[in-house]
Amino acid sequence: MRRLALPALALALLLTGCGSGAATVQNSLFAMDTVMSFTLNGEGDPQALQDTLGELGEIIHGLEDRMSATDEDSEIYALNHAQGQPVSLSPETAELLEQALELCRVTGGALDITAYPAVEAWGFPTGEYRVPGPEELDQLVGQIDYTRLEVDEADGTAVLPAGMEADLGAVAKGYAGDLLAEQLAEQGIDSALLNLGESTILAVGEKPEGTPWRIAVQDPAGEGYLGVLELRDRALGTSGGYQRYFESGGQTYWHIMDPATAAPARSGLAGVTVVSSSGLLCDGLSTALFVMGLEEGVQFWRDHQSLEFEVLFVTDEGELYLTPGLEDSFSLTEEYRDRGVTVLS
């Protein structure tokens, strides 16, 4: 019933005619534990654009119903509670599990979709936060191992050993964004901004006036915006410790786990933004690079040029490191003008 949490927003619909049949429609909804907002531009019948907005919402809620780790009716919940027995999956869940596992392999397990027992032990799904002791952490490390999750995409089944749990929180929004963008492409809508919570954004085409979409990058250490990325036909994913955290005993603990320690990843990075043509890749890699840290993350970028992604790293000290493909599209906001930016090579 979480989807009813923001009824006013869910109904908020803005319709603006811009002459010559051009229209913009917007909608916000609460899904996947975050507020999402979609802006579509098009020519012709504004009602058709509105109908498309409705379809996007249905796709998102359908994915959430199948892939939530907390919803007892979801496929992921069934997988996590099947005590080692195979479970049936919808094609989308099987596809995302398979693609996420591929990213787990590529990132050497920095992304590990079986990190959920640790996420739970720290209290993130319920908000009942706690700091597990060293013995519990040792035990949790033994429960995290994506190589033990078996997915048969052709059969539409998956099996996970008893005691292990999977969660698609690190990749689902990006995957969802890709499905929405496909839906828009099928309907010939070539200008849209799909904001799936602040961390995952798809800039479809460009703005109606022919300029790129401008996407603000939050300062992980404050309320302000470090800079702006100007993007056309690109997805963006951001991971950071500032997005979900709690404080205890003077320490801050966040929701991104280092699978090697079952504790929040402390890699020296405060935030990582990835830009590419795939929402799934952006979402998965931003989480993984956050776990890796700057040095390992930069090396990963150098070693995986074929994945065609760009990165903005922000360290705990507030230093910015940018891959060269973003040099022309990123600009610092006025407030941060004096901040040093290192372009990587």
Classify 1 as helix, strand or coil: coil
Cα separation, 198 vs 37, in Å, equals 10
Cβ nearer to ligand AMP, comparing 40 with 115: 115
The β-bridge partners of 246 are 253
Q: Contacting ligand AMP (CB under 6 A), which of 23, 25, 89, 170?
A: 170
Cβ nearer to ligand AMP, comparing 25 with 75: 75
Cα separation, 44 vs 22, in Å, equals 6
Give me the least distance between CB of 170 and Mg ion, in Å please. 4
Site for ligand AMP in 245-264 (CB under 6 A): 255-257, 259
Classify 294 as helix, strand or coil: helix
Cβ nearer to ligand AMP, comparing 25 with 289: 289
The interface region with ligand AMP, picked from 52-60, 87-95, 201-209, 283-291 by CB under 6 A, is 283-291
Cβ neighbours for 281, distance < 8 A, ≥ 6 positions apart = 103, 174, 235, 237, 274, 307, 309
Give me the least distance between CB of 285 and Mg ion, in Å please. 8
Task: Report H helices in 273-341.
Answer: 279-292, 294-303
Is residue 278 close enough to count as binding Mg ion by CB under 5 A? no
Q: Contacting Mg ion (CB under 5 A), which of 32, 170, 204, 215?
A: 170
Is residue 283 close enough to count as binding Mg ion by CB under 5 A? yes
Structure tokens that stand for 86 in this block: 């195979």
CB atoms within 10 A of CB 33: 15
Give me the least distance between CB of 289 and Mg ion, in Å please. 10
Cα separation, 120 vs 164, in Å, equals 12
Cβ neighbours for 273, distance < 8 A, ≥ 6 positions apart = 217, 229, 236, 237, 238, 286, 311, 312, 314
Cβ nearer to ligand AMP, comparing 213 with 253: 253
Give me the least distance between CB of 288 and ligand AMP, in Å please. 7
The DSSP symbol for 74 reads S
Give me the least distance between CB of 24 and ligand AMP, in Å please. 29
Site for Mg ion in 285-314 (CB under 5 A): 287
The interface region with ligand AMP, picked from 53-61, 167-175, 226-234, 302-310 by CB under 6 A, is 167-175
Is residue 64 close enough to count as binding ligand AMP by CB under 6 A? no
Give me the least distance between CB of 305 and Mg ion, in Å please. 21
Cα separation, 28 vs 36, in Å, equals 5
Site string for ligand AMP, 184-213 (x = CB under 6 A): ---------------x--------------
The interface region with ligand AMP, picked from 2-10, 16-24, 78-86, 113-121 by CB under 6 A, is 113-121
64 contact, one of ligand AMP, Mg ion, none, CB 5-8 Å limit per kind: none
Cα separation, 26 vs 206, in Å, equals 16
Alpha-carbon Rg for the chain, nearest whole angstrom, is: 20
Q: Could you please report the per-residue DSSP string of 14-61?
A: EEEE-STTEEEEEEEEEETTEEEEEEEEEES-HHHHHHHHHHHHHHHH
Site residues, ligand AMP (CB under 6 A): 111-113, 115, 119, 124, 167, 169-170, 199, 239, 255-257, 259, 283, 286-287, 291
Site residues, Mg ion (CB under 5 A): 170, 283, 287
